[in-house]
Chain A
Amino acid sequence: MRDVAFGQYFPGKSLIHRLDPRAKIILFIAHIVILFCTFSYPALAVTAVFTALFLILSGISPKFYFKSLKVIIFIVLFTSLLNLFYGSGEPIWQWWIFKITLNGINRAVFVTTRIICLILASSCLTFTTSPTELTDAIERLMKPLRVIHFPVHEIAMMMSLALRFVPTLLEETDKIMQAQKARGADMESGNLVKRVKALVPILIPLFVSAFRRAYDVATAMECRCYRGGAGRTRMKQIHMARRDAAAFVVMALVIGGVIVCNILFKAAI
C-alpha cells in the first residue's frame, strides 16, 4: 500500500512544476472536460498527444506514471470489457451472449484512452504540485465564495492536513494490522460478515489514534501561533507569469482542435 505513487509529489524545476498551481488546476479541469467531449478518432488523438506532451514536459520518470496506472488497471480492464461486449449494431463476432460490434470496439478504445489520460493528467498535477501549493491554489480560486460565508481557508487547511497525514495513517494501519495478526486475528478467511467483523480490531485503534493525532496537531498549530486565515502570508508566492498565459493559449488551441475534429470527422461513438 505504501509505495502507491498516486498523490505523491516530486520536487523539481520543470516547466510544469513552475506553472502557477491555479493555472494547473484550471487547465486540469479544462482537460478533463475536453477529454469527454472527444467523439472522433482525430479528436481523441489530439487530446492523447496533448497529454503525452505535458507528461514529457513534467520531467518525471515514466516509471512513476506507469506505477500510478497500475493501481487502476483493473478498473480500466473492466470498463473496457464491459463496453466491448455491450456495443450496439451489427456483431462482428458472437459467442453465446457475448457479441462484439464495431461500435463496441470504438467505445472500448474511447473509454480506455479517456480513463488513462485522466489518471495520467491527475498524476501529473499531484507529481508536480506540492500539496501546500495545491491547497493554496484552491483557496485562492474559491476566494469569491467567501462572500456567501463559505469557510474557504478552513477547507483548504483541512485538505492540506489530510494530505499530510494520509501516509502516516497508512503506515499506522499497517502496524495495527501486524499487531492484531500477532494476536491471532484472522483477516484472510471466512465469509463476508466474518471479514467485516475482523476489521473492528483495526478500525477502532485507527480511529482512536486519528483523534489523538488530531488533538496533538491542533495543539502544535496553536503553539505555532496559528489563529485562522486572517493576516496569514505565504512563503511561496504564486503568481501568473507569461508561461501560464502560454499554457492557456496551448489549451485553447487543443480545445479548438478537438472541436474542429469533431465537426470535420464522423463521430465514432
Chain B
Amino acid sequence: MSCVLELKNLSYVYGKGTPFEKRAVNRVSLQIHRGELIGVIGHTGSGKSTMMQMLNGLMRPTEGQVLLDGKDIWAEPKKIREVRFKVGMVFQYPEYQLFEETVRKDIAFGAKNRGLEGAALEQAIRDAADFTGLKPELLEKSPFELSGGEKRRAAIAGVIAMNPEVLVLDEPTAGLDPMGREVLLSQITRYHQERQNTVLLVTHSMEDIARVADRIIVMHKGNLVLFEPTRTVFSQGDRLKQWGLSVPQITAIMQDLRRRGLDVPDGVLTVDEAFRALLPLLKKEGKLW
C-alpha cells in the first residue's frame, strides 16, 4: 500500500518563546495509506484540530514535516495553495461559509480556484452534488434558502468538488438529528468507496466511527497515544476512559459479557455484529426456537 500522508515528528507550539507557550501537538509521527478511512478521536483540546489544520497547510508546523505523496508540503511555501486543493478540509459547521448567489456557484468556488472550468467543472459540481445527495433543482437556489441539513451538504459538496486526494472532515455530523447523521455518514462512506480516496473523519461520536473507520488515531494532550485498527482501539475501553473517551455502548456490553466468561469476540463494533456473535451461543443453549 502506498503512503499518501506522512507526518514526521510534527509539533505545533502556540506562543513559542513566551511564558504562555503551549504545545498543542507534540512530536507526532504517523503514516496514512491511500484509500484508508481514518477516524480521529480525542477530548476537546487534545490537539486534533490543530493537527488537521497542519495537514493542508493552514497552519505551519513549528517543528517536523507533513509529507504529501512523499513531498514536504512546505518545501515551497509559495505553492501552499496547491496543497489545500489536494487535502480538502471541511470545517465544523461548514454551512457558515456559504456565500454565493446560488448553490451551484458556491460548490464551484473551490473547484474554480483550483483551475477547473467548462465541462470538467460542470462534472465536478454534478458529482459533488450527487455524493452529498443534493437534488439538481437545488443547485439554482440561493444557499440561504436551503434547510439546515441541505446547507451542510452543499458546503461539503463545495470541498468534494475540488477533487481532493485526501478529504478531512471535522465533526461533519455535529448538530444534525439522528436521521441526518445517518444519511450523511452513509454518503461519506459511499464517496470513500467509489472514489477510493483517503478520508479522515474527526468526530466525538464513537458509534459513528466504530461503524465506518478502518483505523483510528487517538490524540491526548497533543500526543498520538494510539493508532490502530478500529477493533483494536475499541477493545481497550479502560485506556480510552483514561483519555476521557468512551466506547460504543454495544462494545461495552459485549466486553462485560466476555468478562463474565461468555465466549464472545473482543472489540465488537455494531449491534449486528453483537447479534451474530450471540445467536449461535443462544441456539446452543437452547434458548431460541
Contacts and interface: CB of A to CB of B under 8 A. Distances in A.
Interface of A: 172, 175-176, 178-186, 200-201, 204-205, 208-209
Contacts of B53: 178
B267 interface: no
Nearest to A212: B96
Contact of B158 (A175, A176, A178, A183): A183
Interface in B56-74: 56, 58
Contacts of B96: 172, 175-176, 179, 205, 208-209
- Chain B interface extent, by class: 20 to 34
Interface string B121-152: 00000000000000000000000100000000
A186 B84 CA distance: 11
A178 to B, nearest CB: 6
Interface of B: 53, 56, 58, 81, 84-85, 88-89, 91, 94, 96-99, 109-110, 113-114, 144, 158-159, 162
Nearest to A185: B113
**Secondary structure of the A side of the interface?**
helix
Nearest to B159: A183
Contact of A204 (B85, B99, B114): B99
27 contacts: A172-B96, A176-B96, A179-B97, A180-B97, A181-B58, A182-B58, A182-B89, A182-B91, A182-B159, A183-B84, A183-B109, A184-B81, A184-B84, A184-B85, A184-B110, A184-B113, A184-B114, A184-B162, A185-B109, A200-B99, A201-B97, A204-B99, A205-B97, A205-B98, A205-B99, A208-B96, A208-B144
Contacts of A204: 99
A182 to B, nearest CB: 4
Contacts of A183: 84, 97, 109-110, 113, 158-159, 162
A213 B94 CA distance: 16
A176 B81 contact: no
A182 B99 contact: no
Given A178-B91, A182-B91, A184-B81, 6 more contacts: A176-B97, A179-B96, A182-B89, A184-B113, A201-B99, A205-B97
Contacts of B89: 179, 182
Interface of B is mostly: helix
A209 B151 CA distance: 14
Nearest to B53: A178
Nearest first, the 5 A-B pairs at minimum CB distance are A184-B113, A183-B110, A204-B99, A182-B89, A179-B97
A183 B114 CA distance: 9
Contacts of A172: 96
A182 B144 contact: no
A176 B97 CA distance: 6
A179 B162 CA distance: 14
A55 B85 CA distance: 51
Contacts of A186: 81, 113
Contacts of A200: 99
B81 to A, nearest CB: 6
A175 B113 CA distance: 19
B186 to A, nearest CB: 24
Contacts of A185: 109, 113
A205 B110 CA distance: 16
A8 B162 CA distance: 41
Nearest to B56: A182
Contacts of B114: 184
Given A205-B96, A205-B97, A182 B109 contact: no
Contacts of B91: 175, 178-179, 182
A33 to B, nearest CB: 38
Contacts of A184: 81, 84-85, 110, 113-114, 162
A182 B113 contact: no
Contacts of A205: 96-99
B166 to A, nearest CB: 12
A201 B58 contact: no
